[in-house]
Amino acid sequence: MLMTLTPGAPTVPHDLAVSAGQGRRARRAVDAFVWLLTPVHLVAVSLLVQAGTVSDALVFGNMATPLVSLLVAFYSATGWHVQVSAEGLLTARTLSGRRTVELAALTKVGRVEAAGETGGTDDRLILTDAHGVRVIVHKFKGGADTVDRTVRRALLERSIDAGVIVSARAAERLGLADEVARANRKMVPGRSVPGWVGGWLPIVATLVYVPVGFGLLIAGYLLAGSP
């Protein structure tokens, strides 16, 4: 389906092959890695320690696996050199290869905010389409404009019963809070996270992560049979 391109949005060059669903396998592979890393590492290291093959000091690695999984999940889907085609395909390079979402088939729009290195906020949209492709984006190639107007237009052009899940924070960024609140199925409210959470995220994450990490450490030593 052809769509009217938003002024300022860089278009996909003719020699670049993009298609709907591009990056679906990469997302599945990454998701599998993210979900399996912690339990596989826990069991594998415990068995190796029991066999005397490795030092029990490796059990401390259990504390790091949840963080590694989170980082892989985020950065493998984070896109740069974002472009859009006349067919309504938004494509971006990622660490896991090129990912392309079909704007007319978006199923979820989220938002991730975290404190940036320079004191600002790293603010990005999380786009997921019906093909199972997910990409995290902010600005188009060249950094002249954000993807907001393009995503907003795509959502407003959806049918009345599309049922696109849009988080409260994403709706706020895109100026669609009123549209999401309407009694129709074009867009439905997603998870609502207060804006202050972004500023307190490091503290909240530490309070959650520390007990989980120590729990995995203890479980690793128990499975390994170490004192």
pLDDT tens-digit series, residues 160-182: 999 999 999 999 999 999 999 88
Flag whether 113 is in a domain. yes
Flag whether 162 is in a domain. no
Q: Retrieve residue 33's tokens.
A: 């890695």
Domain of 85 in residue numbering reads as: 1-145+201-222
- pTM equals 0.84
Flag whether 189 is in a domain. no
Flag whether 73 is in a domain. yes
Flag whether 87 is in a domain. yes
Measured CA to CA, the distance from residue 166 to residue 190 in angstroms comes to 5
How would you label 120-151 residue by residue, b for 16+ Cβ within 10 Å and e otherwise?
Answer: eeeebbbbbbebebbbbbbebbeeebbbbebb
Tally of structural domains, the chain: 1
pLDDT tens-digit profile of 98-111?
999 999 999 999 99
How would you label 188-209 residue by residue, b for 16+ Cβ within 10 Å and e otherwise?
Answer: eebeebeeeebeeeeeeeeeee
* Average pLDDT for 68-95: 93
Residue 69's pLDDT is 95
